[in-house]
Structure 1
Amino acid sequence: MRYAAIDIGSNAVRLLIADIIENQGSVSFKKTTLIRVPLRLGDDAFLNHYISDKKSLDLVKSMQAFRNLMDVYKVKDYMAFATSAMREAKNGAKVVKLVKDEANIDLEIIQGQKEAKIIYASHAEQNIDKNKNYLYVDVGGGSTELSLFSNGELFASKSFNVGTIRMLDNQDKEETWNELRDFIRENTKTFKGILGIGTGGNINKLFKLSEEKSDQPLSFNKLKALYNYLNSFSLKDRINVLGLNQDRADVIIPACEIYLTVMKWANIKNIYVPSVGMVDGIIQTLIEKNFTKAG
């Protein structure tokens, strides 16, 4: 049996197709296909609060391709969620209808709180010591989701309109940064020795560049050194010399800034980087929906 997850973010849209594995009462999944298309809906949404006809058409074409792949793979169930960019676009509902009419995909625009909950559902924390305190940080193109948990229990969770595309377009606001800082300080003051868990395409790329062993965390100092190293190259050289994808080479700098800022405010010295994200959380949500219902 196969499920599919579609994540329509501010920087890229993703399709994950996964095989569902049932084994002695437990249900897990194995990723079979992951496709990422760098549409950059955030450029329209954050500057004009509107998704242009060209971007809408590109989105529809991508969704038609995703629909065809889901049909060929005989996907049994799927969920498609749109996040920050579509939340801010005044014509978001119109684009949702267009996707339904042209690609036969039911797309839901979700609020930041639900986005944080789905990302948290990816179970990135399951191989980590439950007795410790963790701040889960997911940085996207339009927003940053924070979830704090202690002893395996979710303690506080919030979404902030601070993201990589938003920063590149100078659409991040000082009051939002202040809200982020206040949330971190207020919710972490009673916890000692908080560890970070970082998700998102940028932190995964940064982790690869760090050449750390997969089960080891990335230290604040190493991340800061990586940031300084990447920042010493021009955008062109980050693409040509370092070999970064064009749509990664610019956003990786503001992403670094967000992770470093959050780590500094929360006094986090190390951040774990499991390679999961929104699409993994969607598959997990589908499993919980279908198997809890079946049970």
Structure 2
Amino acid sequence: MSLSIKKYAAIDIGSNAIRLLISNIIEDQGKETQFKKSSLVRVPIRLGADTFTVGQISERNALRMIEAMQAFKLLMSVHGVEKYMACATSAMREAKNGAKVVAMVEETTGINIQVINGKREAAIIASTDLHQLIENDKTYLYVDVGGGSTEFTVFSEGKIVLSRSFKIGTVRLLDGLVSETMWKQMELWVKETLKPYKRVSLIGSGGNINKIFKMSGREMGKPLSYIYLNAQYQFLQSLTYEQRVSELSLNPDRADVIIPATRIYLSAAKWSRAQKIYVPKIGLSDGIIKTLYFEKKNKKKKK
């Protein structure tokens, strides 16, 4: 019996937080490859609060980021990770000193960071394992809400139809940096793109929708309803920031962004006329692990 277990890691440098995901990749002959989360570490370094307001990453946050990368490097070593990829999204992409910070991180820690654009981000997220969820005869709007941007991917008949990234994210919204025009553009794109399709379901990914799903107490695989999400949105808004931290036990860096995030998911559901929101608990980190795995597999095939 040939069982092979490998450890891969993904570093996701987002606008609201930085994550390290370590996964076991289990290959067993004749069976489907399994991807099992071994460890997930999340550090609340809100890079977007710098970039979206003053245009660059502060010295303090650059140093915190270097320390986080040093810690991640040690964790990967202890876990015996053999392959990893680090990706940075909108906060790093738009920071005037983004390239300088990337160079500092590489110089200090040896970790090479790929600063990816919205299209590549959407493609990596879409490479996650959605086939258990997606039914071939249905249409889905996949919505990934981050701190700096929201990625949309339309799936129909089991295939990707179109992807689009908008500079509307939770940290930007909190800082009042999203104009009415930008909202209108996003609304028009969703409505126009989904016009040919009769019934659409939403797939939500990102830390905030995962938290709402957890709070709902629903079983994995069961969708949230539009009505439930709307009620949650009203409820969250009715509480103060302090109440969201103390009564709902939300992390301090989650308690503020959860409201603008819910607004984005709710708007996407309304524009697409979706009544159901599936939350498969996947995101960019999972996509990075899959990308690494399939790249290695394709290289082997070519040899």
Match of 1:15 among 4, 16, 20: 20
Q: Is 1:4 equivalent to 2:9 in the alignment?
A: yes
Q: How big is the shift at 1:125?
A: 4.2
1:196 matched residue in structure 2: 202
Corresponding position of 1:141: 147
Superposed structure 1 runs of 4+ greater than 4 Å apart: none
Kindly report which structure 2 residues correspond to 1:241-256, keeping only aligned pairs within 5 A, or say none.
241-256=247-262
In structure 2, C-alpha distance between the alignment counterparts of 1:122 and 1:200, rounded to whole Å? 13
Shift of 1:62: 0.1
Q: Which residue number corresponds to residue 265 of structure 2?
A: 259
- Cα deviation per residue 1:49-97 (whole Å; 9 max; x = unaligned)? 1001000000000000001111121211111000010111011000100
Distance in 2 of aligned mates of 1:182 and 1:249: 29
Q: Structure 1 residues 174, 125: CA separation in 2 closer, same or farther (over 3 Å shift)?
A: farther
Q: Which moved more, 1:169-178 or 1:234-243?
A: 169-178
Query: Using the alignment, how far apart are the partners of 1:269 and 1:184 within structure 2?
Result: 15
Partner of 1:286: 292
Using the alignment, how far apart are the partners of 2:40 and 2:227 within structure 1? 32
In structure 1, the partner of 2:171 is: 165
* Aligned mates of 1:132, 1:23 — CA distance in 2: 31
Question: Which residue does the alignment assign to 2:116?
Answer: 110
CA contact (8 A) 1:133 1:149 kept: yes
Contact 1:124/1:276 (<8 A) preserved:
no
RMSD: 1.0
Which of 269, 283, 293 lines up with 2:275 in the alignment? 269
Return the alpha-carbon distance in structure 1 between the equivalents of residues 131 and 217 of structure 2: 21
Deviation at 1:149, TM superposition (A): 0.8
CA distance, structure 2, for counterparts of residue 291 and residue 28 of structure 1 = 14
d(CA) in 2 for partners of 1:153 and 1:227?
A: 31
TM-score (norm 2): 0.95
Q: What amino acid sits opposite 2:221 in the alignment?
A: D
TM-score under structure 1 length normalisation:
0.98
Amino acid at match of 2:13: I
Counterparts of 1:121-136 in structure 2 under 5 Å? 121-136=127-142
- Matched letter for residue 185 of structure 1: K
Q: Point out the more displaced range, 16-25 or 138-147.
A: 16-25
Amino acid at match of 2:115: I
In structure 2, do the counterparts of structure 1 residues 80 and 131 end up closer, same or farther at CA, with 3 Å as the change threshold?
Answer: same
C-alpha displacement of 1:14: 0.3
Distance 1:125 1:169, change over 3 A: farther
Alpha-carbon distance, 1:100 to partner: 0.2
**Residue 21 of structure 1: how far off its partner (Å):** 0.9
Q: Which residue number corresponds to residue 66 of structure 1?
A: 72
5+ residue gaps, structure 2, are: 1-5
Alignment of 1:84-103 (within 5 A): 84-103=90-109
Contact 2:9 2:76 in 1 (8 A): yes
CA distance in 2, matches of 1:3, 1:233: 40
Q: 1:231 aligns with which of 225, 232, 237?
A: 237
Determine if contact 1:19/1:29 at 8 Å carries over to the other structure: yes
Residue from 185, 192, 195 that aligns with 2:191: 185
User: 1:213, 1:64 → 2: CA distance?
Assistant: 37
Count of residues in Structure 1 that have an aligned counterpart in Structure 2? 295
